[in-house]
Structure 1
Amino acid sequence: MNVRPEINVRRAEERFATKISWLDSKHSFSFGHHHDPGNTHHGLLLVNNDDVVKPGTGFETHPHRDMEIVTWVLRGALVHQDSEGHNGVIYPGLAQRMSAGTGILHSEKNDRPAEAGRDAPSEPVHFVQMWVVPDEAGIAPGYEQLEIEDELLRGGLVPVVSGMARHENRSAIRIRNKYAALHVARLAPGQSVELPEAPFLHLFVPRGAASLEGAGDLREGDAVRFTATGGQRLTATEPAEVLVWEMHATIAA
């Protein structure tokens, strides 16, 4: 079946929002009590949450199952603990993946105390959490993190999380889906990258601003969903960080 190429720009203000005392969260897709049957996923991506968590707070222990969960921190530090005994601090430039598999409990909290002194400043943590479905249900839970800062400094789109065969020998965390990969780029004004070509792409701009060939200006919090297209150039108009999911399959209806 032929699919018509489509570029669908989703503006930051169109996202679902959850704002409580300790959390400011924006959801690109249906999440929690926010449900739109026409906005449940794109390709293999089910969740793209843009979260800001206040110091000394966070997500208490909660369960997940049969999901590949990727966390990317933009500012501050996030402490991860889970029922499999994994512990880690996630900070900018460090990629993290948790495979929920048959079931896992975990917590995620701001590494900074609510009140801090000069030597330990208090600041919110800003991160994007993304969920993709695994190739198969019932796999063993797992956890992996990888420092990717050096690769980002070299420029271009860097594959930081992937299940694709072509990334096996590159610095990328493995996920349990052979049809999906997350690329990240940090761009100075005027720098550009060429997007991959794939049946499904999801571009998110969590920081800064950029101009997308054929679609115009993108601001912080904007996203673009590509179907049956790719290869466009994305150029930063101010310092920017961009997240691009390349997906060669979609969730069956």
Structure 2
Amino acid sequence: MDVRRATERYQGGDAAAGITTRHAFSFGPHYDPDNVRFGALIACNEEHLAAGAGFDEHPHRHTEIVTWVVEGELTHRDSAGHETVLRPGDLQHLSAAGGVRHVERNDASGPLTFVQMWLTPRESGGEPSYEVVRALPDAAPYPVRRAGAVLQVRRLAPDGRAVLPSAPYVYVHVVRGRVLLDATHLDPGDAARITGVDEPLRAVALTEAELLVWQMEGEPVLG
């Protein structure tokens, strides 16, 4: 288990434009050849947007983009004609496939926080697709089939327990609260990268907590 603390994340964004970003992996000008990916996961970005701030239209290709809203409202518009407002507990999955452009903004009056995760698909090309799951239930598996990955959101009351899935690659991101994972304390923004575990690990909540848990088959190679 490789634990990466919130304080170790790369600082990004544009503070003058009301955007603060914390990157878990190499991203843009922040390049670390030893921290490019974990399994299919190539980005896990914590995004904080002030009211009125946002990302102007920009392109994506060959990427599975999964977004989890933590606080506030996220407005999404894309070149395929989708326009959606996402709120806490909503999950968005944009499969960029052969190419798509989109806009992400905080058009509300309060702050916005979301976690955005990028995964590499097994095959390149294809038609983009888009899906929103409102109020994703606790522990409900959300498959990202093109990347051979499954996401679960775990919400735990104090002293609550969750058994992590068994998979070649397991990634745990703490959205909120404090948890104990195999005798290791994890705080908000911390993440654990788990491989080669013979028996499933258990997470124990020390406070009310929310976790994003990925199980992945491996590192896809674009075909």
Structure 2 counterpart of 1:14: 8
8 Å CA contact 1:213–1:233 kept in 2: the answer is yes
Structure number with bigger Rg = 1
Structure 1 residue 192 and structure 2 residue 161: aligned? yes
Quote how far apart the aligned CAs of 1:139 are.
1.2
> Whole-Å Cα distance in 2 between the matches of residues 26 and 93 of structure 1?
20
* 1:252 shift after superposition: 5.0
Q: Which residue of 1 aligns with 2:143?
A: 162
Among 154, 170, 182, the residue aligned to 1:213: 182
CA contact (8 A) 1:42 1:200 kept: yes
The alignment-based identity, stated in percent, is 42
Matched residue count: 219
> Post-superposition, which runs of at least 4 consecutive aligned residues in structure 1 deviate over 4 A?
none
Shift of 1:66: 0.7
Match of 1:34 among 21, 30, 34: 30
TM-score by length of 1: 0.83
Show the counterpart of 2:123: 136
Matched, 1:249 2:214: no
Give the secondary structure class of the aligned counterpart of 1:228. coil
Report whether the alignment pairs 1:99 with 2:95.
Answer: yes
1:47 aligns with 2:43: yes
Q: Distance between the aligned counterparts of 2:170 and 2:130, measured in 1?
A: 25
Q: What runs of 5+ residues in structure 1 fail to find an aligned partner? A: 1-6, 113-121, 164-174
* 2-structure distance, mates of 1:29, 1:245: 15
Write the distance in 2 (CA, Å) between the matches of 1:50 and 1:28. Answer: 8
Conserved? CA contact 2:65–2:117, under 8 Å: yes
**Match in the other structure for 1:171:** none
C-alpha distance in 2 between matches for 1:67 and 1:32? 15
- Are the counterparts in 2 of residues 50 and 206 from structure 1 also a CA contact under 8 Å? no
The CA RMSD over aligned residues, in Å, is 1.5
> Over residues 79-124 of structure 1, what are the superposed CA-to-partner deviations in whole Å (9 max), with x where a residue is unaligned?
0000000111111121110011111110000131xxxxxxxxx311
The one-character-per-residue Cα deviations of 1:11-46 (angstroms, maximum 9, x if unpaired) are: 110110114221111000001110000000000000
TM-score (norm 2): 0.94
**Distance apart, 1:176 and its partner CA:** 2.1
Aligned position for 1:167: none
Distance 1:61 1:50 in 2: 19
In the TM superposition, residue 251 of structure 1 has moved relative to its aligned partner by 4.1
